A = this chain, B = another copy of it.
């Protein structure tokens, strides 16, 4: 297969972890006889510095032309401490999601047996956890009308959803559930919000198309609790943008392996893969960041192109590196800490 992949390394540790995913992907291409063309493009603070905005048109054109995007991380402390900054790296993220139509964010949370004791939760609570949150990513209060009134003394944001937006996300949820345990949980706040009532009635109406899927409906506050209490009681969850933002982050820390969690964001055509960790500026340039989340994001990429063996080969080599202690300092526990680049080299060689 021939794959054109746009490479958006972004800020902080982005470039370093992306490099390792490229090494590993190239090793996969070689072994399985594929051809990958990488096209780098600017994003985030790096793009603001170069051309004045975080998701330049040129970058968008490269992403649109590609079969998929591999993304590092964006965000820079310089902007966090400067409320007067007119252009912010995060705006690039939102613009990219919207312009590429990446309406579904796929966020798995799973455990690595060898890392289970890193979880803040007790072993018996976290063991066996393997869930996926599908977060709607291009609608809701993120993209609704907002503004000020009364000379700036009143602020408002609007959460809007259409039935079609709910349907396309829910469809992905039902389909994903069919490939797994056939359990789907719709997370909303239908006891208060009209948009949540639309979500719930839309999903309810779709149930009959997927008679094998057992659907449950839970309020977001209850889910925020149960994710901490019994995360292993969940499988596929679907939810709107803001609830998804909060719950995916909550879910990401319960496994204790946040540095290892990959993600995908997909649209009708576009596909983007990125680690869920941030740009971690303190570690930038030090060759110490853990590249595994980005490498596992590349595995998700291959899988979405039906290259299942290739994806599995990546997961296997990652597990092997964990078992053999070829890990960065965050996981080394007093043993030898390998550099980011060393881990990448080892993985590529062991493919």
Residues in A lying within 8 Å of B, measured CB to CB: 88, 90, 94, 120-122, 125, 141-142, 144, 146-148, 150, 152-164, 189, 191-195, 197-198, 220-222, 224-225, 227-229, 242-243, 245-250, 252-254, 258
Contact = CB atoms under 8 A, between A and B. Distances in A.
B159 A141 contact: yes
A225 B159 CA distance: 24
Closest 8 CB pairs of A and B: A155-B198, A224-B250, A146-B194, A221-B249, A156-B160, A153-B163, A155-B195, A155-B194
A162 B148 CA distance: 10
Contacts of A150: 162
B146 A154 contact: no
Contacts of A122: 120-122
A224 B247 contact: yes
A64 B120 CA distance: 45
A221 B192 contact: no
Contacts of A193: 141, 146, 157
Nearest to A147: B194
Contacts of A147: 194
A88 to B, nearest CB: 7
Nearest to A217: B80
Contacts of A229: 120, 253
Contacts of A195: 146, 155-157
Contact of A249 (B148, B161, B163, B224): B224
A157 B158 CA distance: 6
Contacts of A243: 246
Contacts of A160: 154-156
Contacts of A250: 224-225, 227-228, 250
A156 B157 contact: no
Contacts of A141: 141, 159, 192-193
Contacts of A246: 220-221, 224, 243, 246
A237 B130 CA distance: 31
A125 to B, nearest CB: 5
30 contacts: A90-B192, A120-B122, A120-B228, A121-B121, A121-B228, A141-B141, A141-B159, A142-B192, A146-B195, A148-B194, A152-B198, A153-B163, A153-B164, A155-B160, A155-B195, A155-B198, A156-B158, A157-B158, A158-B158, A159-B159, A220-B246, A221-B245, A221-B249, A222-B249, A224-B224, A224-B247, A225-B249, A225-B252, A225-B258, A229-B253
